[in-house]
Amino acid sequence: MKALGNDYKNAKANTGDFTRLPAGGYICEITAVEDKPDKEYLNITFDIAVGEFKGFYSDEWGKAHPYAHSFVRSYKKTGDEKKDARIMGMFKGFLKAIDDSNGTHLEQMPETGLDEDLLVGKKVGLVIGYEEYESDRGEIRERTRVQAIRTMEDIAKGNYKVPEVKRITPSAPAPIDGFLNINPDDVPF
Protein backbone atom coordinates (compact mmCIF):
# COMPACT_ATOMS: atom_id res chain seq x y z
CA MET A 1 0.00 0.00 0.00
CA LYS A 2 1.27 3.47 -0.77
CA ALA A 3 2.01 5.99 1.99
CA LEU A 4 -1.06 8.12 2.79
CA GLY A 5 0.83 10.97 4.44
CA ASN A 6 -0.87 14.03 5.88
CA ASP A 7 -4.30 13.19 4.45
CA TYR A 8 -4.38 10.15 6.71
CA LYS A 9 -2.66 11.86 9.63
CA ASN A 10 -5.13 14.78 9.63
CA ALA A 11 -8.26 12.71 9.01
CA LYS A 12 -10.82 12.30 11.78
CA ALA A 13 -11.60 8.63 12.52
CA ASN A 14 -15.06 7.76 11.22
CA THR A 15 -16.67 4.42 12.01
CA GLY A 16 -19.88 5.11 10.09
CA ASP A 17 -21.91 5.93 13.19
CA PHE A 18 -24.19 8.93 13.01
CA THR A 19 -26.95 10.47 15.04
CA ARG A 20 -30.35 10.18 13.43
CA LEU A 21 -32.82 12.99 14.03
CA PRO A 22 -35.79 11.46 15.86
CA ALA A 23 -39.24 11.95 14.37
CA GLY A 24 -41.06 14.73 16.21
CA GLY A 25 -41.83 18.41 16.39
CA TYR A 26 -39.05 20.96 16.11
CA ILE A 27 -38.73 24.72 16.16
CA CYS A 28 -36.74 25.38 13.02
CA GLU A 29 -35.12 28.33 11.28
CA ILE A 30 -35.39 28.80 7.54
CA THR A 31 -31.81 29.02 6.26
CA ALA A 32 -32.40 29.36 2.51
CA VAL A 33 -35.28 29.74 0.06
CA GLU A 34 -35.08 29.21 -3.67
CA ASP A 35 -37.97 30.12 -5.94
CA LYS A 36 -38.48 27.72 -8.85
CA PRO A 37 -40.77 29.87 -11.01
CA ASP A 38 -40.80 27.42 -13.94
CA LYS A 39 -42.16 24.71 -11.59
CA GLU A 40 -44.08 27.19 -9.37
CA TYR A 41 -42.78 26.24 -5.95
CA LEU A 42 -40.41 27.39 -3.22
CA ASN A 43 -37.63 25.06 -2.08
CA ILE A 44 -37.14 25.80 1.62
CA THR A 45 -34.04 24.67 3.54
CA PHE A 46 -34.08 24.67 7.35
CA ASP A 47 -32.12 23.76 10.44
CA ILE A 48 -33.19 22.96 13.97
CA ALA A 49 -33.19 26.23 15.96
CA VAL A 50 -33.95 25.16 19.54
CA GLY A 51 -33.25 22.28 21.89
CA GLU A 52 -31.03 19.24 21.99
CA PHE A 53 -30.71 19.05 18.20
CA LYS A 54 -30.06 22.76 17.60
CA GLY A 55 -27.83 23.20 14.53
CA PHE A 56 -28.29 19.53 13.57
CA TYR A 57 -27.66 20.23 9.88
CA SER A 58 -24.89 22.82 10.34
CA ASP A 59 -22.08 20.27 9.97
CA GLU A 60 -20.25 19.48 6.72
CA TRP A 61 -22.67 16.68 5.84
CA GLY A 62 -25.68 18.99 6.27
CA LYS A 63 -24.06 21.68 4.16
CA ALA A 64 -23.30 19.16 1.40
CA HIS A 65 -26.80 17.60 1.51
CA PRO A 66 -29.37 20.43 1.75
CA TYR A 67 -32.04 18.17 0.20
CA ALA A 68 -31.99 16.16 3.45
CA HIS A 69 -33.36 19.14 5.36
CA SER A 70 -35.60 20.92 2.93
CA PHE A 71 -39.20 20.84 1.76
CA VAL A 72 -41.24 22.48 -0.96
CA ARG A 73 -44.30 24.67 -0.92
CA SER A 74 -46.12 24.82 -4.23
CA TYR A 75 -48.03 27.81 -5.52
CA LYS A 76 -48.86 26.17 -8.84
CA LYS A 77 -52.17 26.67 -10.61
CA THR A 78 -53.21 23.43 -12.28
CA GLY A 79 -56.60 24.45 -13.64
CA ASP A 80 -58.35 21.97 -11.33
CA GLU A 81 -60.38 24.16 -8.94
CA LYS A 82 -60.30 21.71 -6.00
CA LYS A 83 -56.60 20.93 -6.38
CA ASP A 84 -55.73 24.64 -6.75
CA ALA A 85 -57.72 25.48 -3.59
CA ARG A 86 -55.79 22.78 -1.68
CA ILE A 87 -52.41 23.98 -3.01
CA MET A 88 -53.13 27.64 -2.18
CA GLY A 89 -54.50 26.63 1.22
CA MET A 90 -51.29 24.79 2.07
CA PHE A 91 -49.17 27.71 0.89
CA LYS A 92 -51.25 30.18 2.90
CA GLY A 93 -51.10 27.90 5.96
CA PHE A 94 -47.30 27.83 5.69
CA LEU A 95 -47.11 31.64 5.61
CA LYS A 96 -49.66 31.94 8.44
CA ALA A 97 -47.55 29.64 10.66
CA ILE A 98 -44.52 31.85 9.92
CA ASP A 99 -46.52 35.03 10.63
CA ASP A 100 -47.93 33.63 13.89
CA SER A 101 -44.45 32.48 14.95
CA ASN A 102 -42.58 35.69 14.05
CA GLY A 103 -45.14 38.51 14.27
CA THR A 104 -44.84 39.21 10.54
CA HIS A 105 -47.49 39.79 7.87
CA LEU A 106 -46.15 37.71 4.98
CA GLU A 107 -49.46 35.87 4.50
CA GLN A 108 -50.92 38.92 2.75
CA MET A 109 -47.98 39.47 0.37
CA PRO A 110 -48.45 36.74 -2.29
CA GLU A 111 -51.42 38.60 -3.76
CA THR A 112 -48.97 41.20 -5.10
CA GLY A 113 -45.79 39.13 -5.00
CA LEU A 114 -43.73 37.63 -2.20
CA ASP A 115 -40.03 38.30 -1.83
CA GLU A 116 -38.95 34.81 -0.79
CA ASP A 117 -35.76 36.21 0.79
CA LEU A 118 -37.97 37.61 3.57
CA LEU A 119 -38.49 34.02 4.76
CA VAL A 120 -34.78 33.46 5.49
CA GLY A 121 -34.09 33.68 9.21
CA LYS A 122 -37.74 33.17 10.18
CA LYS A 123 -38.62 30.45 12.66
CA VAL A 124 -41.48 28.00 12.29
CA GLY A 125 -42.61 24.70 13.79
CA LEU A 126 -42.03 21.60 11.68
CA VAL A 127 -43.28 18.10 12.37
CA ILE A 128 -40.67 15.78 10.93
CA GLY A 129 -41.29 12.12 10.22
CA TYR A 130 -39.72 9.34 8.20
CA GLU A 131 -40.70 7.73 4.92
CA GLU A 132 -39.35 4.75 3.06
CA TYR A 133 -37.87 5.02 -0.41
CA GLU A 134 -36.11 2.69 -2.79
CA SER A 135 -32.44 3.52 -3.36
CA ASP A 136 -30.67 3.31 -6.71
CA ARG A 137 -29.45 -0.13 -5.63
CA GLY A 138 -32.99 -1.36 -4.94
CA GLU A 139 -32.63 -1.16 -1.15
CA ILE A 140 -35.52 0.08 0.99
CA ARG A 141 -34.21 2.97 3.12
CA GLU A 142 -35.70 5.75 5.24
CA ARG A 143 -35.39 9.51 4.97
CA THR A 144 -36.78 12.44 6.90
CA ARG A 145 -39.72 14.39 5.54
CA VAL A 146 -41.53 17.46 6.81
CA GLN A 147 -44.99 16.09 7.51
CA ALA A 148 -46.69 19.22 8.89
CA ILE A 149 -46.10 22.89 9.53
CA ARG A 150 -47.10 24.40 12.87
CA THR A 151 -46.42 27.53 14.86
CA MET A 152 -43.48 27.58 17.25
CA GLU A 153 -46.02 27.77 20.10
CA ASP A 154 -47.75 24.55 18.96
CA ILE A 155 -44.40 22.74 18.91
CA ALA A 156 -43.39 24.12 22.32
CA LYS A 157 -46.74 23.01 23.81
CA GLY A 158 -46.63 19.59 22.13
CA ASN A 159 -49.71 20.32 19.99
CA TYR A 160 -48.80 17.95 17.16
CA LYS A 161 -48.84 14.26 16.39
CA VAL A 162 -45.63 12.38 15.64
CA PRO A 163 -46.31 10.55 12.39
CA GLU A 164 -45.76 6.84 11.81
CA VAL A 165 -43.14 5.88 9.25
CA LYS A 166 -44.70 6.12 5.78
CA ARG A 167 -44.07 2.68 4.29
CA ILE A 168 -43.66 1.83 0.63
CA THR A 169 -46.52 -0.26 -0.66
CA PRO A 170 -44.96 -3.47 -1.96
CA SER A 171 -45.51 -4.07 -5.64
CA ALA A 172 -46.07 -7.44 -7.27
CA PRO A 173 -42.89 -8.94 -8.75
CA ALA A 174 -42.57 -8.74 -12.50
CA PRO A 175 -43.23 -12.02 -14.34
CA ILE A 176 -40.14 -13.86 -15.53
CA ASP A 177 -39.92 -14.53 -19.27
CA GLY A 178 -40.70 -18.15 -20.16
CA PHE A 179 -42.77 -18.81 -17.02
CA LEU A 180 -46.50 -18.59 -16.63
CA ASN A 181 -48.09 -16.62 -13.85
CA ILE A 182 -49.93 -19.45 -12.04
CA ASN A 183 -52.19 -19.00 -9.06
CA PRO A 184 -51.16 -21.56 -6.37
CA ASP A 185 -54.85 -22.33 -5.76
CA ASP A 186 -55.12 -23.63 -9.36
CA VAL A 187 -52.43 -26.29 -8.88
CA PRO A 188 -54.14 -29.72 -8.37
CA PHE A 189 -51.57 -31.13 -5.90
Bridge partners of residue 100, in order along the sequence: none
Structure confidence at residue 140 (pLDDT): 92
Backbone angles phi, psi at 48, to 5 degrees: -70, 130
Bridge partners of residue 124, in order along the sequence: 28
Structure confidence at residue 41 (pLDDT): 96
Structure confidence at residue 107 (pLDDT): 81
Q: Could you tell me what percent of the chain has a pLDDT over 90? A: 71
Q: Dump pLDDT digits (tens) for 1-14.
A: 877 777 777 766 66
Bridge partners of residue 13, in order along the sequence: none
Structure confidence at residue 58 (pLDDT): 95
Structure confidence at residue 94 (pLDDT): 96
Structure confidence at residue 113 (pLDDT): 82
What's the rounded Cα separation, in Å, for the pair 18 and 79? 45
pTM above 0.75, yes or no: yes
Beta carbons within 10 angstroms of residue 101's beta carbon = 21
With a CB cutoff of 8 Å and minimum separation 6, the contacts of 81 are none
- Given a cut of 70, the residues of the chain with pLDDT beneath it are 11-18, 170-189
